[in-house]
Amino acid sequence: MTKRNQRRPNKLARPIRTKRDYDGASAVAKRLSGQKRRDSSAEQRLQSLLHELEKYDDADDDQTADLPEDNEYAGPHRRWSDESSSDG
């Protein structure tokens, strides 16, 4: 029988999808960048991690840019008279 996944992906870093992934990848990138002497595979992994971190940052910026600001709220606004008053 042959194995289904004989070839591994060509990427050196997996895609970053969550904040937890981002924190882990940034810790690894910081550790790799602090090394004095890196071999070519460590340098490639560092570059790949930095690229994935940048992609996550760009995607995060795009999502926050879509949110309306407080002064740009397009929905119905409440008036002070909408609040329930206690006529007790």
The CA-atom distances, in angstroms, between 28 and each of 2, 10, 61, 78 are 34, 19, 22, 48
Residue 16 lies in a domain: yes
Q: What are the tens digits of pLDDT across the range 33-88? A: 998 888 888 899 999 999 999 999 888 776 766 555 556 666 676 666 656 655 55
Residue 52 lies in a domain: yes
- Pull the structure tokens for residue 77: 């606004």
Output the pTM of the full model: 0.57
Residue 83 lies in a domain: no
Residue 38 lies in a domain: yes
Residue 15 lies in a domain: yes
User: Where in the chain does DSSP place strands (E)?
Assistant: none
Residue 54 lies in a domain: yes
Residue 4 lies in a domain: no
d(CA 72, CA 36): 49
**Residues spanned by the domain of 23:** 11-65
| Burial per residue of 35-68, b for 16 or more beta-carbon CB atoms within 10 angstroms, e otherwise | eeeeeeeeeebbebbbebbeebeeeeeeeeeeee
Q: What are the tens digits of pLDDT across the range 1-32? A: 555 555 444 567 888 999 999 999 999 999 99
Indicate the number of domains in the chain: 1
